[in-house]
Structure 1
Amino acid sequence: MKKVFIGILFSASGLYLAFRQMDMDDLRSAFSGVDLVMIAIASAILVFSVWIRALRWRIILGPIKDVETHPLFGATMIGYFGNSVLPLRLGEFMRAFALSRGGHSVSASAAFGTLIVERMLDMIGIMVLILVLFSSYPIPSWLANSGLILSGIVILLSAILFWVSFSHEEWVLRIERLSLLQKGIGRKVKKIFHYFIEGIASFRKVKHSWRLVFYSFSLWAMYWFIAWLSAQALDIEMSLIQLGIVMVSVTMVIILPSAPGFIGTYHAGAVLVLVEVFNIDQAPAQAYAIINHAIGFFPLVIIGALYFFRSSLKLREVRSMELSPNG
């Protein structure tokens, strides 16, 4: 309950920061000429990006079980649905359970381990974009420093985790036996660490690793193009580098706790960077935040809900989900 409250607090604060200076007439004017065709194209690209993510997941899962792409697409959509409508970002657990209950001979714990590896790939991708984009444009020191801190954390964690998992199995046992990891939140951290190690173990056997790079690059290229389409839909003139910085900055902000669907934190990040860094007027910046968030929210919730209600998962089961080696 405390985590839910913290998430709601962050979201409420984000909404306040994003819309505390809101002129309804100006905002209405910003929306009046919106290009719905651009929004439709952006929404279609977003849905297609989930298929690309499913293709990448299939490669990561390959050493465990070769699963067809469509079930992985459906499970991924269920995960997005969960993250968008349920607290505590339960979507990743739902995604793992949806796959395990689909009759594909993959346990939920094994699936979850590969999802942790997938998120590490996402974090490495965002780190590369931060280093490239933030060095390509004169941004304020507060934004540059935030990016460098996040990149440093990603590099450090990746180095430690990969070092431990690849070369030092005795360290895995030592870490899992630490007294801090035997109860409460420490026990949850130990579980996640254990699933990550399992995921890395299968990741070492992945074939066609060049496809992982290609699919990861394709995902970020599509997200970037969606950001450009959102700006074009509102007739906001910005370069691709500038829009890339907005995209990366928003991604950094939504790491923070929030209400379901990144409501508030997403909007605050977009408006802050557009107004403070690129001098976009308040109303167009707010309109961009609303539209770009809606593009990433409604298509995934609608399609994800269809897959969820066709699956064997039940909403009342979600909060009590426990991963075990066999389920």
Structure 2
Amino acid sequence: MTQFRTAVGFALSAALLWWTLRGVPLEQVVGVLRQSNGLLFVISTVVATAIFPLRARKWRPILEPIAGTIAFAPLWRSTAVGMMVTNVFPLRAGEFARAFALTREVPRVALTSALGSLAIDRLFDALVVFAMMFAAMLDPRFPADATLAGRSVAQLATGGVLLMGGVFVACYLVVLHPEWVVHLAGAVVQRIIPRHRDVLVGLVELAIGSLAVLRDTRRFFAVLGWTVLHWCTNAVALWLGFVAVGIDVPVSAAFFLQGVLAVGVAVPSSPGFFGVFEAAATIGLGVYGLPRDLAVSWALGSHLLSFIPITVLGAIYFARLGVRVDDVRGTTSS
């Protein structure tokens, strides 16, 4: 099954990369990148890499209820290791590697607790990224006649706001009545895969425990604030890349595009999201009526440049921590 999922991911990445590049001569892409502002592209790369220390800092208040205050350094190194593994290994092993690396540096953090905290991390990411995306769609400069999946901008923005509100309400219901969720999870798992009931219910209980951040106003706003700063920084990096290749769109386009990219990279793909990133970027920028060669050139240039620094840093920390490839594989399969 693991090999099958890996093969599907690589096949889908290859197909999407072919779809993205068809009709766009490679020499045309090279020409656009050669004429781009190299300094701005470098600055864009630096800003894009800065989101990872911000993600590490955001992790601290999430972990506080279950592990106390953790120093920034191990959080940062674990985050870098996780992103490197995501970029190099298949099957999205990066989140497992991030949690595993933290347990190596901070033994008081159990692996299951670390994994539960990452679920909360991603929940805040989703809420903030899509809230920003829907806000960008309400910008008067957003193409008025644009549609996505056959729906108008107004419909999508309204539905998105309601969805985000619904998710927050659901999270608070889980916090207030955790026993309901545990009972429901146990009943469902018992019917589907009873032999793994105890393990999966235990993970649900840990995830609910990680939601303790919602009970503490200070921690909640700390996590929310770091999440907003993280994704604003990422949007700035995208926009600087736009300017570097001569893409003339409003700043809100960067907030819209990062939402489209978040959806795109969620599908199965090769390590590093190659193919799905470029396809999602082309579709997202196409909403603004950009020439395909500009969109593809930005996507390839921005993706490759942002891929390198965090992958190198993560590899260095990976080696220093003494983590082995077999450790990552074993964690992923467990």
Q: Which residue of 2 aligns with 1:54?
A: 56
| Structure 1 unaligned residues grouped into runs of 5+ | none
Cα drift, residue 316 of structure 1:
1.5
Q: Residue 278 of structure 2 contacts residue 299 of structure 2 at CA under 8 Å; is this kept in 1?
A: yes
Give the Cα separation in 1 of the matches to 2:48 and 2:85. Answer: 17
Equivalent position of 1:211 in the other structure: 222
The separation in 2 between residues aligned to 1:151 and 1:183, in whole angstroms, is 37
Per mean C-alpha deviation after superposition, the further-off stretch among 164-173 and 240-249 is 164-173
Matches for 1:221-232 after TM superposition, within 5 Å: 221-232=232-243
Once residues 174 and 135 of structure 2 are traced to their aligned partners in structure 1, the CA distance between those partners, rounded to angstroms, is 28
User: Corresponding residue for 2:147?
Assistant: 141
* Residues 1:323 and 1:161: Cα distance change in structure 2 (over 3 Å): farther
Which residue of structure 2 aligns with residue 33 of structure 1? 35
**Could you list the per-position Cα deviations for residues 258-291 of structure 1 after superposition, in whole angstroms to 9, with x for gaps in the alignment?**
111111000001112223x122222211110112
Structure 1 residues 309-324: aligned runs within 5 Å:
309-321=319-331
TM-score w.r.t. the length of structure 2 is: 0.87
Determine the structure 2 residue equivalent to 1:274.
285
Q: Work out the CA distance in 2 between the residues paired with 1:152 and 1:255.
A: 21
Would you say the 8 A contact 1:57–1:118 is kept in 2? yes
Tell me what 1:261 maps to. Answer: 272
Measure the CA separation in 1 of the matches of 2:157 and 2:320.
41
Query: Residues 65 and 106 of structure 1 are in contact (CA less than 8 Å); yes or no, is this contact kept in structure 2?
Result: no
Displacement after TM superposition at 1:17 (Å):
1.6
1: distance between equivalents of 2:193 and 2:44? 46
Amino acid at match of 2:281: A
How far, CA to CA, are the matches of 1:19 and 1:248 in structure 2? 22
Tell me the SS of whatever aligns to 1:8.
Answer: helix
Corresponding residue for residue 10 of structure 1: 12
Deviation at 1:117, TM superposition (A): 0.4
* CA–CA separation in structure 2 for the residues paired with 1:148 and 1:87: 36
State the one-letter code of the partner of 1:135. L
Partners of 1:187 and 1:25 lie apart in 2 by: 56
Of the structure 1 ranges 218-227 and 182-191, higher mean CA displacement relative to structure 2 is found in 182-191
Equivalent residues in 2 for 1:101-140, closer than 5 Å: 101-136=104-139, 137=142, 138=144, 140=146
For residue 246 of structure 2, give the secondary structure of its aligned residue in structure 1.
coil
Structure 1's 207 and 235: CA in aligned 2 closer, same or farther, altered over 3 A?
A: same
Return closer, same or farther for 1:263/1:17 CA change in 2, 3 Å cut-off: same
With over 3 angstroms needed to count, the CA separation of the structure-2 counterparts of 1:155 and 1:3, relative to structure 1, is farther
Distance in structure 2 (CA, Å) of the matches to 1:203 and 1:320:
32
Match of 1:293 among 295, 300, 303: 303
Q: Percent identity?
A: 22
CA distance, structure 2, for counterparts of residue 196 and residue 215 of structure 1: 20
CA shift, 1:246, in A, is: 2.0
Q: Displacement, 1:47?
A: 2.5
1:220 partner letter? W
Distance 1:320 1:91, change over 3 A: same
Deviations 1:41-66 (A, max 9, x none): 12222232211111111111112221
Give the structure 2 partner of residue 70 of structure 1: 73
Contact 1:236–1:284 (Cα < 8 Å) also in 2: yes
Counterpart contact for 1:59–1:206, Cα < 8 Å: no
Which residue does the alignment assign to 1:283? Answer: 293
Say if 2:8 and 2:268, in contact at 8 Å, map to a contact too.
yes
In the TM superposition, residue 202 of structure 1 has moved relative to its aligned partner by 5.6
RMSD: 2.7
Q: 1:158 to 1:211 in 2, by over 3 A?
A: closer
Aligned partners of 2:52, 2:275: CA distance in 1, in Å?
23
Aligned pairs, how many? 323
1:65-97 deviation line (CA, Å, top 9, x unaligned): 211011100000011011111111111111111
The 2-side partners of 1:139 and 1:117 are apart by 36
Instruction: Give the structure 2 partner of residue 233 of structure 1.
Output: 244
Contact 2:135/2:157 (8 A) holds in 1 = no
Q: Aligned-pair distance for 1:189? A: 6.2
**Counterpart for residue 200 of structure 1:** 211
1:313 is paired with a residue whose SS is: coil
- 1:90–1:318: 8 Å Cα contact kept in structure 2? yes
Unmatched 5+ stretches in structure 2: none
The alignment status of 1:92 with 2:122, answered yes or no, reads no
Change (3 A) 1:55 1:287: same
Distance 2:197 2:161 in 1: 25
Shift of 1:212: 2.0
Structure-1-length-normalised TM-score? 0.88
> For residues 192 and 149 of structure 1, what CA distance do their matches in structure 2 show?
31
